[in-house]
Amino acid sequence: MRHRLYAVLALVCLLVAPAAAQAARTPTYDVDYLVRFLPGEKAADVTIRVRQGSGSLRTLDLDMPAARYTRIEGDGGVERDGDRVVWDVPDDGGALRYRYEIDRRRRDGGYDARITDDWVIVRGDSLVPSARTRTTRGARSEATLRFELPADWGVDTQWEDIDRTSFRVSNPDRSLARPTGWVIAGELGIRRERLDGTLVSVAAPRGDAMRRNEILAMLNLVLPEMKESFGSLPPKLLIVGAGDPMWRGGLSAPMSLYMHSARPLISENGSSTLVHEVVHVVTRVRGAGRDRWIGEGIADYYGMRLLNQVGMLSDSRYARAIEWMEDRGKDIDSLEGTLAQGALRARAVILFRDLDAEIREATDGERDLDGVVRELMKKGSVRTADVRAAAEAVLGRPARTLDTPLLDY
């Protein structure tokens, strides 16, 4: 028996050692993102500091429209070409500095990013925009996000906190870890609770009417059902909000979402902005191109179905909600569109409801739409063909529900 145990341990070591050795050999460089909010300037000063290590960052090519990113300077060569800024990072490291104009209004007049004397809500993706990199072979970043804040301000992000104003940024899928997701800072009121393994943080300006405790109570019921449907939950979920003049809707981002503090947790038609956006956060399924109906239809359908499963939407109210969607989308003859809104979204909900019912009937209740969504989650950005393929993988045959003129475009 002892010899067998030694043999098993030796085999484990042989399997693990190469992976560990490979991880140890991965060349790295350090990136430090420093953000200083300037309420009086309606802006933030950002510094990206690079320290070369066993790997090096050679070039950082950032998407920086001149209307919002100004005062750009840095060590080494810095050149602007239209909306692109290319930074040639010195061999011994250095820093790039710029100013970002935070306040941004949507067409309806509401802000989806704003800074006041007391608080700021902004996307990390905006503070540090998307970038193309050139590195030494195989090099990856180890990144930290830090904030210099006015007195009495706090801050929260989707990232693991190091201390009160610093966060560890990671993105295994990219060589450069960038601080994506929502950021809220200021004089804040925050409620936190660990729900089914996820640290949920609900934050809004101090004194704002954001229903922090009600949101946590609702997610205490919904998140376990969501985990059952989709297989996993993020380690952290940050929910930020504020009242007027912020935009009166909801917007998801990686492991975070924004929701206007006056939005009802359950609307009169049975939908839920909160659950809708959390579905987006957890699944990360989004329709590419003119297939926006996919992500929006899934989020709307589960936004109602999950509430029904946990008893927050009775069977009769759920039935009325589905009837409302059927009536709203009855005149839609194609799901093609770049903006999946209104009647088109309602018709997408009914399509997914029907696909769910077809799968349940064909498998005697053993499977449902959850299996399709899990398949789509593997890709993230999906098209209609992906939905058909995922449904066929679950059913073992093409789905009759998806053989419809609605998808002939």
Q: Which residues, in sequence order, are CB contacts of 103 under 8 Å at separation 6+?
A: 42, 111, 113, 114, 115
Per the domain annotation, does 41 fall within a domain? yes
Query: Per residue in 4-14, pLDDT tens?
Result: 544 444 444 44
Tokens found for residue 191? 């409620």
Is residue 37 assigned to a domain? yes
Residue 237 phi/psi, 5-degree rounding, is -130, 115
Same domain, 176 and 279: no
Which residue, of 173, 189, 205, is where some domain finishes? Answer: 189
**69 belongs to a structural domain:** yes
- Tell me, yes or no, whether 167 and 269 share the same domain: no
Q: Which among 189, 222, 238 is the end of a domain?
A: 189
What is the CATH classification number for the domain harbouring 154? 2.60.40.3650
Q: Degrees (nearest 5) of the Cα angle 360, 227, 359?
A: 10
Q: What is the mean pLDDT of residues 223-233?
A: 97
Residues 167 and 292 in one domain: no
Residue 253 lies in a domain: no
pLDDT classification of 19: cutoffs 50, 70, 90: very low
Q: How confident is the model at residue 24 (pLDDT cuts 50, 70, 90)?
A: low
Domain boundary among 157, 173, 189: 189
Smallest CA-to-CA distance from 225 within 195, 258, 259, 263 is with: 195
Domain identity same for 176 and 269: no
pTM summary value: 0.90
Identify which of 62, 100, 54, 99 has the alpha carbon closest to the alpha carbon of residue 79: 62
With respect to residue 16, please indicate whether it lies within any of the assigned structural domains. Answer: no
* Whether residue 312 sits in one domain with residue 397: yes
CA distance 288 to 330: 24
Which of 226, 188, 194, 195 is CA-nearest to residue 210? 188
Q: Which residue do the tokens 């009775």 mark?
A: 314
Same domain? For 39 and 165 the reply is yes
Q: Total structural domains in the chain?
A: 2
Task: Let me know whether 159 and 289 are in one domain.
Answer: no
Give the amino acid at 268: E
Q: What is the pLDDT of residues 33-64, one digit of tens each?
A: 999 999 999 999 999 999 999 999 999 999 99
Distance CA 251, CA 172 (A): 24
Under the banding of pLDDT at 50, 70 and 90, the label for residue 341 is: confident
Give a yes or no: residue 20 inside a domain. Answer: no
Q: Are residues 184 and 288 in the same domain?
A: no
121-153: pLDDT as tens digits: 999 999 999 999 999 999 999 999 999 998 899
The stretches of 231-341 forming alpha helices (DSSP H) are 273-283, 293-309, 315-328
Q: Is residue 22 part of a domain?
A: no
Cis before 150? omega within 30: no
Domain that holds residue 366: 264-407
> What pLDDT, on the 0 to 100 scale, is given for residue 340?
65
